[in-house]
A and B are shown apart, each in its own frame.
Chain A
């Protein structure tokens, strides 16, 4: 059973960098054909795809965030990470990491519990 767990600061100051890590257990992030993804959800709102890193190491980002984000992986720790620069209050949200499979379109079969990140001074 694959499990994912997000970790990182719950409070980030405006203009600073949000950094989150997703630790994966029960499967290797460097095996198979999966899209290790970040998704966020502001309180009371819908889901927003942030981006992913594929098993091969290639990345794909939401164009609305592309200039500010980096997703990377550390296969030795079986983790992947999100960095979001120059944050504002609009980046306050629950952040989820998830594993994406592909059947015509990417679907997310395993999710972390999510971590709430608040951007505030």
Chain B
């Protein structure tokens, strides 16, 4: 089991706002990153360092952190946002890289 816990699936109506969460004790101390993965493709980072958006990522993607939980928020979800989303950070020792189990986002 992963040190970072994500809900397996989340759905959102087209144009609405959705929050995807990632929980873990290490998140109290370390930043987290978020990746979007579409079928048959490599993951793409959408948020790094808790709340930084790489160039080319739409501004409807945002990240936040509170206690042991980090969140990825998509404001005004689009059909192309469907896919799997993974968080990653350090493990509780701070020495290793860990990923959450992933959340499948469905846009209705």
Contact = CB atoms under 8 A, between A and B. Distances in A.
Verify that A and B bind, or say they do not.
Answer: yes
Nearest to A51: B97
Contacts of A49: 88, 96-99
Given A60-B96, A62-B96, A63-B96, A105 B89 contact: yes
**Which of A46, A48, A63: most chain B Cβ within 10 A?**
A46
Contacts of A11: none
Nearest to A63: B96
B45 to A, nearest CB: 6
Interface residues of B, number: 27
Contacts of A112: 42
A53 to B, nearest CB: 13
Given A46-B2, A105-B31, A96 B48 contact: no
A100 B49 CA distance: 12
Nearest to B2: A46
A109 B42 CA distance: 11
B50 interface: yes
B52 interface: yes
A109 to B, nearest CB: 6
A96 B42 contact: yes
Contacts of A114: 42
A47 B86 contact: yes
B43 interface: yes
Interface string B81-104: 000001011100001111111100
Interface in A44-64: 46-49, 52, 60, 62-63
A108 B97 CA distance: 11
B18 interface: no
Given A107-B88, A109-B48, A48 B42 contact: no
Contacts of A113: 42
Interface of B: 2, 30-33, 35, 42-45, 48-50, 52, 54, 86, 88-90, 95-102
Given A47-B35, A109-B48, 8 more contacts: A46-B2, A48-B99, A103-B31, A103-B52, A104-B31, A104-B50, A105-B30, A107-B48
